[in-house]
Structure 1
Amino acid sequence: MENNLVSIITPVYNGEKYIEECIKSVLNQSYKNIEMIIIDDGSTDNSENIINKYSKSFPFIKYIKCNKNNGVWVARNIGIENAKGRFISFLDADDLYKKNKIKNQINFMLNNNYSFTYTAYDLIDENSTSLNKVINTKKYEDYERLLKGNDIGCLTVMIDRLKIDTLIRFESCHHEDFVLWLKILKNNVVAYGLDEVLSSYRKSSSSLSHNKIKSAIWTWNIYINIEKLPLNKALYCFSKYIVNGFRKNSYKKETTYSYFF
C-alpha cells in the first residue's frame, strides 16, 4: 500500500458515451499521485478500445477486463482488491471530477486526521450541461444520522485504508454504497463533509417518480433485512428519509452501469 497514493475505482459497463470524458477529468487532476483502476464489467460496446487508448499512454490507468457482467458491486470490489493506494476514491464512468477534487480532499483528510470524508457535488445532464443544482454536505455523518437518509454521494467519497481497510467491501444489493457507508459508520467511524463542489453527478432523463419508488423500496429493505432495525425505528428512519428526499428534490441514480434506460 503506497503512502498518499489515491486509487480511483471506476466500474464501467457499456459506457462508451461518457468514459472518455470521465478519464479526462482524472487526467486533469492537480494532485498527481494517483492511479485509476477501470473495471470493464463485460462491456459489449466500444468502451474497451477507448479505455485502452488511454491506458497505453498513461501507465497510472489500469484496465481490468471481466469476461461477463457481474454487477457494479463485484466490479468495485475487484478494483479495491487491485488498488495499491492508501486512499480509495470512487468515480462511476458517467460522472466527473473537478480539477482539485483529489488535492483538496486529501489535504482535508490529512490535515484533520480523518479516515472517511465526502464532499459537495453538482448535477449535470446527459450532455454535460450544468443543471444549476448543488448537493451540499453536512458537517459530519455518523451511523444514526445516516440512517435517516444517504447524503453521501459515492463519487465524492475518500477512505483511508490504513484506518478502515477491512470494512471496504460492497455487498450484492441495491443501494450498495449506502449499505457500505452504514457498515463502516457502525464501527465507531464518523464521515466528515467537505462542503466544496468537487465532482459532477450525471442525472438521468429517465422517470423520476419510478426511480424514487424503487429507491424507497430498496431503502426500506436495508432498514428491515440488512440493518434489521426494530419496526418502530425503521418507520421513524423511513419517514425521515422521505422528508430528506423532498428537501433535496433529487433522486439517487440506479447503479446498474447503463444508467439511461
Structure 2
Amino acid sequence: MNSPEISIIIPIYNADKYLRQCLDSVVNQTFKDIEIICIDDGSSDNSLQILKEYRQKDERIILVDLKQNKGISNARNEGIKFARGNYITFVDSDDYIEPDYIEYLYSILKTFNCKMSVCIHNVIKKGKKKKVFDIKADYKLSSQECIKRLLYNDGIDTSAWAKLYDKTLFDNIKYPEGKLFEDIAITYKLFIKSKEIACGHLAKYNYVIRENSIVTKNFDKSKLDLVEMTDNMAADIVSLFPNLKKAVLRRRVYARFSTLNQMAKVDKKNSDKIKEMINFIKKYKWNILADSNVPLRDKFAVLLIQINYNLYKYVWRKFK
C-alpha cells in the first residue's frame, strides 16, 4: 500500500456523543490522499464501537485501541508513531473540520514553501459560531514573529489542531505525558524547527466548547500545569530570542489570570497559590500596562486585581 500524503490523527476518549460529527467531517475531506489514525484512549463508552463501524466503511481509517486511558499526550505520540504520511495534522474528537480543511492547509504550505501551516478557527458555543480572528489574507511568518504573535494571542495560538506539520518536525519532539495544556510545551518548538510558517486567513477548524471539557470542567490541581507549561516555554523562548522578553512576560501574566479564573470557586483550598499568582501579576503590572502590544482586556484585568481580587472576580463573572 502506498503511503498517503497526509496523516490525520484523532485522539479519542469517551467521545461517543459527538464522535460521528467529527468523523464525518474528516472522511468527507476534499483532499483524498489521507489516512485517518483514530487512537482510542481506553474509552468506556461506545466510542470504540463507533470507530469500528466507520473503519468498515472507509479503508483509510486506522484504528489503534490503547485499552487503557493514558491521556491525550500519549494518544498523540502514539498517533505520530503510526503515521505514514509526509505531513501530520490533529483533530480533537469533540471538534469538527470544514470539508476543505486539509486542502487549504496543504495549499498554503506549498504556496509559501514551508514545513508548517496554520489556519484560523471558529469557536462554537451553544450552537453559535464565531471566528476568533479577522485576518484579510494568507501570509508567511518567521518562527520568531510567529512566536511573538502567539505570546500576544494575535492570530496565532498554541493549540495542536488547526495546523499542518511536516512529519520530520516531530523528530526528537514528544508531547509531555501526564500533563494538561501539553500543546503549550510543544507548539513553539515546532515553530522554531519550521523556521517559516504559512498562515491562513480562513477559518477551517471548528473548536466546540462543551461542558466537562478540560477548559470548562471544575478546577483541580492539574490545571496548575498551565502556569508550569507557560513558564517553561517562556524560559526557552527568552534564551533563544531575548528581544521577546516583554511578550513572554505578557504570556506568563495571562496564564496566571487564566488559572485564577478557573480557581474562582475554590479560593479557600488554594489560598497560597492564589496569593502567589496575584503577587506575580502585581509585581509586573507596570510592565504590562506600558506594553502597547498587550490587549486592553489584560490591562483592565491588571488594574482590577491591583484594586481588589474580589472586585476582579465579580467583573470577570459578569464579563464571562
Which TM bucket (shorter chain)?
0.7 to 0.9
C-alpha distance in structure 2 between counterparts of 1:218 and 1:211, whole Å: 15
1:167-206 pair list within 5 angstroms: 167-172=172-177, 173-187=179-193, 189-205=195-211
Q: Percent identity?
A: 27
Matched letter for residue 180 of structure 2: H
C-alpha distance in structure 1 between counterparts of 2:39 and 2:230, whole Å: 30
- Specify the structure having the higher radius of gyration (Cα): 2
Note if contact 1:167-1:184 (Cα within 8 Å) is conserved in structure 2.
no
Task: Note if 1:41 corresponds to 2:41.
Answer: yes
Task: Note if 1:238 corresponds to 2:252.
Answer: yes
Question: Which deviates more from structure 2 when the two are superposed, residues 140-149 or residues 14-23?
Answer: 140-149
Stretches of structure 1 that go unaligned for 5 or more consecutive residues are 248-261
C-alpha distance in structure 1 between counterparts of 2:75 and 2:16, whole Å: 17
More helix by share: 2
Normalised TM-score (structure 1): 0.79
The equivalent residue for 1:84 is 84
State the Cα distance separating 1:204 from its structure 2 match: 2.1
More strand by share: 1
CA RMSD of aligned residues (A): 3.2
The equivalent residue for 1:255 is none
> Which secondary structure does the structure 1 equivalent of 2:5 belong to?
strand
The equivalent residue for 1:5 is 5
C-alpha distance in structure 2 between counterparts of 1:26 and 1:58, whole Å: 11
Normalised TM-score (structure 2): 0.66
Matched letter for residue 222 of structure 1: M
Q: Select the structure with the greater relative contact order (CA < 8 A; seq sep ≥ 6).
A: 1
C-alpha distance in structure 2 between counterparts of 1:43 and 1:210, whole Å: 19
C-alpha distance in structure 2 between counterparts of 1:25 and 1:190, whole Å: 29
> Which secondary structure does the structure 1 equivalent of 2:227 belong to?
helix
The equivalent residue for 1:26 is 26
State the Cα distance separating 1:192 from its structure 2 match: 2.8
The equivalent residue for 2:242 is none
Number of residue pairs the alignment of both structures matches: 242
CA shift in 2, pair 1:14/1:244, >3 Å: farther
The equivalent residue for 1:159 is 165
Matched letter for residue 166 of structure 1: D
C-alpha distance in structure 2 between counterparts of 1:197 and 1:188, whole Å: 22
C-alpha distance in structure 2 between counterparts of 1:112 and 1:167, whole Å: 25
C-alpha distance in structure 2 between counterparts of 1:63 and 1:53, whole Å: 11
> Which secondary structure does the structure 2 equivalent of 1:142 belong to?
helix
Question: Which deviates more from structure 2 when the two are superposed, residues 202-211 or residues 100-109?
Answer: 202-211
Task: Note if 1:143 corresponds to 2:147.
Answer: yes
CA shift in 2, pair 1:151/1:80, >3 Å: same
CA shift in 2, pair 1:206/1:51, >3 Å: closer
C-alpha distance in structure 1 between counterparts of 2:296 and 2:99, whole Å: 29
> Which secondary structure does the structure 2 equivalent of 1:63 belong to?
strand
Note if contact 2:11-2:72 (Cα within 8 Å) is conserved in structure 1.
yes
